[in-house]
Amino acid sequence: MERIKVEICCGTACYLLGAAKLMDIELSLPPDLRARVDIEARTCLEMCERENLGGAPYVRFNGTEVMCEASPEKVFARICELAGVEEAL
């Protein structure tokens, strides 16, 4: 089973707009799901340059899919979708 890679932008804008809370998402994952997810803080995903600060914080899934205005709830829901499991906090 392929692991889900989650990259959380922790650049200044993203960090101030909520990325710090996103780093705790791993703690809310059930143990079986946590074993299938790699969560990594990134210095910057460079999305502010391409998009705008209004979309921060940014999270990238599996190296391609970018979520803007990420919240712990949105990230958790997307991880569950990618893992093919029903959401259960």
pLDDT at 25: 92
Q: What distance in Å separates the CA atoms of residue 8 and residue 79, rounded to the nearest whole number? A: 13
The torsion of the CA quartet 32, 78, 18, 43, rounded to 10 degrees, works out to 80
Residue 22's pLDDT is what?
95
Q: Can you give the pLDDT of all 89 residues of the chain as single tens digits?
A: 689 999 999 999 899 999 999 999 989 899 999 999 999 999 988 887 765 667 899 999 999 999 999 999 999 999 999 999 876 55
Taking the C-alpha atoms of residue 58 and residue 78, their distance in angstroms, rounded to an integer, is: 13
The pLDDT of residue 52 is: 62
Structure confidence at residue 85 (pLDDT): 86
Residue 51: the pLDDT is 59
Q: Note if the pTM is more than 0.85.
A: yes
Cβ 12 vs Cβ 45: under 8 Å: no
Query: How far is the CA of 53 from the CAs of 28, 34, 79, 85, in angstroms?
Result: 27, 30, 24, 32
